Structure 1
Amino acid sequence: MLRNKSVVFYGSTESRTPSIKDSIIGKFDEIIERLGILNVVRNKVVMIKTDLGYSSFISTIHPYIIGRIVKKIKDADGKVFVSDTLENYREAVYRGYTPEVIGCQIYPIAGIRDGYFYERYVDYKGLNILQLGGFCREADILLAISHIEGHNTAGFAGSIENIGLRCYTARTRYMIYKTMEWDKYFVREKCRNIKDMKNICPYNAINIVDDELRIDFRFCNQCMRCKIVDKNDCLNINRRNFESFFEAMAMAAKYVLEQYDEPNRFFINIALNMTEDCRYWGSITGNILPDLGILGSTDILALDKAT
């Protein structure tokens, strides 16, 4: 059976006139209208799963954009709240995310102790349980508004990363990253210069624990400097290590999507102020691309591919 083609709406930052309608905000409004979000929110609860930023990272979604869609949902007789991870929630106020500014309550996805969750049992490379943030089930409709930025492991952070990682407890996110260490990559018996491999890593991704070399794949940039000094072929970093992360994140994203009927899932990517590193580095690395605009779709995969 042939499947209907997915549609991705795009609004660029370019404008031909000084009118609001021709601005990026006007195009955001049009994407909201074309997606049909406001047609289904009446007497429903909407969770806006967004990126509240972290630490000193300020290149995130402007609170005005979130507040604008919050008002539209309320005007359409819907109820709405915003959610993100506990870490991001704690510091959201420093980036202007408050109920007074955006017009609705903000909740940590798994509660203020990261202990409000629902479990799904899985069996994948040491990942045994997905702890889904409880606030995912407080809503009838999912609206994921994601900030596009670089990501050491995922390549870039978009809608799939937004829900596949940040709809979960810190414990689950940690275990998703740990799947990259499941396939053996270091043979100690063959190694004669373990310290050289550690010292050459410019990202501090390599540590020595109990005389074993350990790579924190969250920080590994695949520069392969460690392999250059590996004289005995004791280190084997390959695609499979990194693909484990993608597979685990995809499993987690699928579980989030299962919480909502297909007509009640909407995704928007904000491709503005795109930095090299993601929010958890806690610093600003400068924009790596010009501002592109805003994209929206009801198909999360099509949206991230288009982005």
Structure 2
Amino acid sequence: MKQSTVYYTDFRVRGGQTLQQKLDRLVEAAGLGTLDLEGRFVAIKIHFGEPGNLAYLRPNYAKTVADAVKRHGGLPFLTDCNTLYPGRRKNALEHLAAAQENGFGPVTTGCELIIADGLRGTDDVEVPVPNAEYCPTAKIGRAVMDADVVISLNHFKGHESTGFGGALKNLGMGCGSRAGKMEQHKAGKPVVQEGLCRGCRQCAKECGSDAITYEGGKARIDQDLCKGCGRCIGRCNFDAIYAPQDNANALLCCKMAEYAAAVCHGRPNFHISLVMDVSPLCDCHADNDAPIVPDIGMFASFDPVALDRACADAVLAAEPMPGSLLGEHRANPGFGCCGDNFLDVTPGTTWRECLDHAEKIGLGVQAYTLKKV
């Protein structure tokens, strides 16, 4: 069976080392320097974090990667696409202001910041998806596609629809323009089970589309306004909101894998994941809960599928943090835990489907050899 190599280092530092130095050694050991970067535009895809959230990657890590690219002659820039839902990152001006508020700028990162799909999230390129089953083409932010090389630098964490967010989500959903994000999400629009709804209004606070109202103390979701992002599902503590299309999350995962394949196809790509501050929900939220497991380490590979699988395996093998959402669920005998650290945070999510489909369409393989640096 074909296996990919995933390189790993922990967060321990000794003898005057720094975490930035460890990250630099990791990316060099994983082969960043073997890429032909001389004079080439290098898109470093990162999530700048929704203001209020403190789990996103610090800009120091981005600078380490940008400096490594420049050392090999490349021309790096940090990039992300605008969000589908209203918030602080829905257009390029607010998105850049949010990034700066979270510490990202030319001085702190050593490179420029570019919002890949333009001012309003409409500047995209329709890209063929190799071996597609669901999305023959993908709508990708133009600046991402204009780059010669793509590097994914992502914070590995939980997610309320896809189980976790790693390299594939950073590339697939993250590089999609607003139209591209809509295409990925449109299969599953949630509904409310009135008998379980407590009328706590937390889902309405989470909704970025003003699609949730209340009648008789029960939530109602306007299907015309809803964008299908699933954030209300993750916010509800009573399992009152669900996607009636049973395979909605699985379809989302498959489409996300196809979008990631479109981003990577036909050009050099390299992937880095930091498994730290593993919050139960995405960095798109304007807050973050306690980490569900202890910090694990930094991973890098040329194969984003193997990388996600290695990170997922590391989180699955970790003990839950006491007092975290995962710890609380595991301690509650009535919760119905299944032993999967991702699904025990947000039941009904999926994550294996994304990796299975990515492997099926030829983006990478799940079998890996782990090499410690």
Q: TM-score, normalised by structure 1?
A: 0.80
Q: 1:164-194, CA deviations, whole angstroms, 9 ceiling, x for partnerless residues?
A: 101011232133122124xxx98xxxxxx96
2:312 maps to 1:298: no
Classify the secondary structure of the residue corresponding to 1:196.
coil
Give the number of aligned pairs.
280
For 1:151 and 1:275, the matched residues in 2 are separated by 8
2:65 paired with 1:55:
no
Superposed displacement of residue 218, structure 1: 3.8
Higher helix share: 1
Q: State whether residues 47 and 83 of structure 1, in contact with CA within 8 Å, keep that contact through their aligned partners in structure 2.
A: yes
User: In 2, Cα distance between the equivalents of 1:173 and 1:215?
Assistant: 10
RMSD of Structure 2 on Structure 1 (CA): 3.1
| Contact residue 196 and residue 238 of structure 2 kept, 8 A | no
The one of 262, 279, 286 equivalent to 1:275 is: 279
Aligned residues with identical type, % of pairs: 21
- Structure 2: unaligned runs, 5 residues or longer: 83-88, 90-94, 205-218, 312-373
How far the C-alpha of 1:217 sits from its partner, in A, is 3.4
**Corresponding residue for residue 8 of structure 2:** 10
Larger Rg: 1
Instruction: Name 1:114's counterpart in structure 2.
Output: 121
1:94 and 2:98 equivalent?
A: no
Note the alpha carbon deviations across 1:226-247, whole angstroms, 9 max, x for none: 49xxxxxxx9846422211111
Q: Structure 2 vs 1, CA of residues 152 and 77 (structure 1 numbering), >3 Å: closer, same or farther? A: same
Structure-2 change in CA distance of 1:214 and 1:256 (3 Å): closer
1:219 equivalenced with 2:214 (yes/no): no
Any conservation in 1 of the 2:24–2:68 contact (CA below 8 Å)? no
For residues 130-151 of structure 1, what are the alpha-carbon distances to aligned partners after superposition, in whole Å with 9 as ceiling and x for unaligned?
A: 3210011221111100011111
Pairs within 5 Å for 1:112-261: 112-120=119-127, 130-181=138-189, 195-199=194-198, 204=203, 207-209=220-222, 217-221=230-234, 225-226=239-240, 237=244, 239-258=246-265, 260-261=266-267
Partner Cα distance (2:54, 2:229) in 1: 25
Distance 1:18 1:265, change over 3 A: same
SS of the residue aligned with 1:171? helix
Runs (4+) off by over 6 Å = 121-125, 213-216
Residues 1:24 and 2:22 aligned together:
no
Q: What's 1:231 paired with?
A: none
> Is 2:72 the partner of 1:76?
yes
Deviation at 1:271, TM superposition (A): 1.2
Residue type at the aligned position of 1:287: P
1:201–1:225 contact (8 Å) kept in structure 2: no
Partner deviation per Cα, 1:224-271 (whole Å, 9 max, x = no partner): 7449xxxxxxx984642221111111121111112x42xx11000011
Displacement of 1:223 after TM fit? Answer: 7.2
CA 1:18–1:56 in structure 2 vs 1: closer, same or farther (change >3 Å)? same
DSSP 3-state at the match of 1:270: strand
The question of whether the paired residues in 1 share the 8 Å contact of 2:70 and 2:76 is answered with: yes
What CA distance in whole angstroms lies between the structure 2 residues aligned with 1:67 and 1:225? 41
Amino acid at match of 1:56: G
The more displaced of 84-93 and 61-70 is 84-93
Which consecutive residues of structure 1, in runs of 5 or more, have no partner in the other structure? 187-192, 228-234
Q: CA offsets per residue over residues 48-89 of structure 1, 9 Å max, x none?
A: 001111121121111111112212222222111110123243
